[in-house]
Amino acid sequence: FLVAALVLSRMAGLKVDCGLLLEPLGFIKVLEWIFSIFAFATCGGFQGETTLLVSCKGVVNKTVSAAFAYPFRLHTAVFNAPDPKRCGGTWTDVSLVGNFSSSAQFFVTLAVLVFLYCIAALVVYIGYKHVYQQNSKFTLIDLAITVITAFLWLVSTFAWAKALADIKVSTGASMIPGIESCKAPGTTCHFASVTSMGTLNVSVLFGLLNMVLWSANIWLLYKDTNLQYQSNRIS
């Protein structure tokens, strides 16, 4: 990425100075860029399925499954029928319950926007270091964006964590009592398995790490603004 940023700066005819990247402000921006990639990749790239074992008329322990993926509109994930005769006509289309797309898309969209902002910020750090350091407005704008982003990471991460907990319930064994086709005479359903959601757990962890990084960045930027000096004069 740094090579790409250098090339873009050169193409734009900018004087390249990577000194700021060696300072805490630049280094933490690189970390924010990296962790934003991990956040949207671990959430947005997930694909899984939940599986049941169904026994009914003429069928014994037939595997039926429903596939689900980001953005986790579970109500569109339908279990396949146990057999062509649909258990003698007693099996109706069964889908998972819940729509968690708003929380998932909020989390992933924020990560993508942060990814793009970090690229723009690092290009400024590399190509416009002298302008950035001499004009306090740039630092204040960076500080305002950082405060908003840290707050959005807090909100989106906890919203996604709550949604993930609900997704685990909706795709786990507790969903069976709500399946009407499993209540038909002579039909039994047993929960078999669900795809491991370890990567989704990791996405929540990366959300928390991003929140910590951006919160720490607030302090670093605050020290670079004249707000600190104004508060010192007031005190």
What percentage of the chain reaches a pLDDT higher than 90? 53
The DSSP code for 197 is -
In angstroms, the CA 164 to CA 141 distance is 34
Nearest CA among 106, 151, 111, 138 for reference residue 224: 138
* Phi, psi dihedral angles at 81 (to 5 degrees): -70, 145
Q: What are the angstrom distances between the C-alpha of 15 and each of 10, 116, 121, 149, 171?
A: 7, 22, 16, 29, 54
230: number of Cβ within 10 Å: 10
* Phi, psi dihedral angles at 64 (to 5 degrees): -125, 145
Q: Higher pLDDT residue, 54 or 133?
A: 54
Q: Given this model, what pLDDT does residue 11 score?
A: 47
Q: Using alpha carbons only, how large is the chain's radius of gyration in Å? A: 25
Residue pLDDT, tens place only, 1-45: 454 444 444 444 445 455 555 567 778 888 999 999 999 999 999
**Would you list the DSSP string of 104-159?**
HHHHHHHHHHHHHHHHHHHHHHHHSHHHHHH-HHHHHHHHHHHHHHHHHHHHHHHH
Residue pLDDT, tens place only, 193-227: 999 999 999 999 999 999 999 999 888 887 766 55
Residue 136 tokens read as: 């306090």
